[in-house]
Amino acid sequence: MNVQVIAVDGKMPNLALMKIAAWHKSKGDTVGFNISDPDKVYISTIFDWNGSQSYGIPKLFNCTVEIGGSGVDIQKDLPGDIEHIMPDYSLYDIDYSMGFTSRGCPNNCPFCIVPIKEGAITDHAYITEFLHPDHNKVILLDNNFLASPRWRGNLNYIIEHDIMVNFCQGNDIRRINEDNAKLLSETKFSNYKFNRKQMHFAWDIPEIEKSVERGINIFNDAGVKPYNLMFYVLCGFNTSFEQDMYRVMRLREWGCDPFVMVYNNRRDDKRLRDFARWVNRKEIFKSCTFDEYNSKEVVNVS
């Protein structure tokens, strides 16, 4: 069988498609992004605003087409024998592994689909299930890694095997204490490009400011400096622009790296889009104010 896979969106390699590719290849099938006259096609869509686009693609093929991903159906899961297979990393020709050690999250944040899609926190897989033996780098996609009952064992495995790790979705700063901060400080933590020593967290809710500051101080005492901490900052959900600006500037005062995420339904808000570009382009964020960024004198540098 010739199988074509299509990733509609997402900047990172698509984990579901890599697992599907691994399963089909185990059956002797040929799998790829550019397959002539395929016998079956899989389409994966992550973001809901691309869902309608996904449903138009099957018209291009005269074969069975299966569509999945959170962008079209948040309840649809891979079959167990595909979900728990070693992904085919050759599909994207990457030298790092990806996977979930846990699924779900206990926080029930109103802006997040994770509780609806995955439910409460549960252990999902041991790192060895998806960590390729030839890789020494891994991206963990857990939605709340520190809430997993096996977080300590997972961290110890990472440390003992000298694995470079990226906590892609961000850890929960409210769960940081001296114990887990020490273990996290002993990992070779990195951003998802594995080119910067950085650990990801989130400050989406303005009211957790004290927990954010406390966590930063605990990390500092453990040897992880504020400039090694990046915070996703959700803007435009139920916060004012002033609250969004406050969180960003507070993080900068503490020496951390803010990264603005504009809420889905506000992606057409020009001021929020400009704000995100200003904050997320670090060379500009460090060199001018937001008002200066929007002025005629510097607008062209963006």
Tell me the whole-structure pTM to 2 decimals. 0.92
Residue 99 sits in the same domain as residue 67: no
pLDDT digits (tens, 9 = 90+) for 277-290: 999 999 999 999 99
Q: Do 269 and 121 reside in the same domain of the chain?
A: yes
Assess whether 81 and 185 both reside in one domain.
no
Predicted confidence at residue 3, as pLDDT, reads 98
Same domain, residue pair 251 and 183:
yes
Question: Which residue stretches of the chain have pLDDT < 50?
Answer: 297, 299-302
**In contact, 16 and 68? CB cutoff 8 Å:** yes
CATH label of the domain that carries residue 239: 3.80.30.20
Query: How many alpha carbons lie under 13 Å from residue 41 in its C-beta half-sphere?
Result: 22
Q: Where is 262: in which H helix or E strand?
A: strand 257-262
Residues 72 and 173 in one domain: no
Domain boundary among 53, 86, 119: 86
Q: For the residues of 188-242, what is the DSSP string, one character each? A: EE--TTSSS--EEEE--SGGGHHHHHHHHHHHHHTT--GGGEEEEEEESSS--HH
Instruction: Give the pLDDT of residue 72.
Output: 87
In this structure, the answer to whether residues 168 and 81 fall within a common structural domain is no
Domain final residue pick, 71, 86, 101: 86
Same structural domain, 65 and 112? no
How many domains would you assign to the chain? 2
Residues 136 and 24 in one domain: no
At 299 the pLDDT is: 47
Tell me which of 86, 102, 137 is where a domain ends. Answer: 86
Shortest CA distance to 111 belongs to which of 11, 212, 205?
A: 205
Q: Judging by beta carbons within 10 Å of its beta carbon (0-12, 13-18, 19+), is residue 283 exposed, middle or buried? A: exposed
Q: Which residue range(s) make up the domain with 295? A: 87-301
Assess whether 74 and 97 both reside in one domain: no
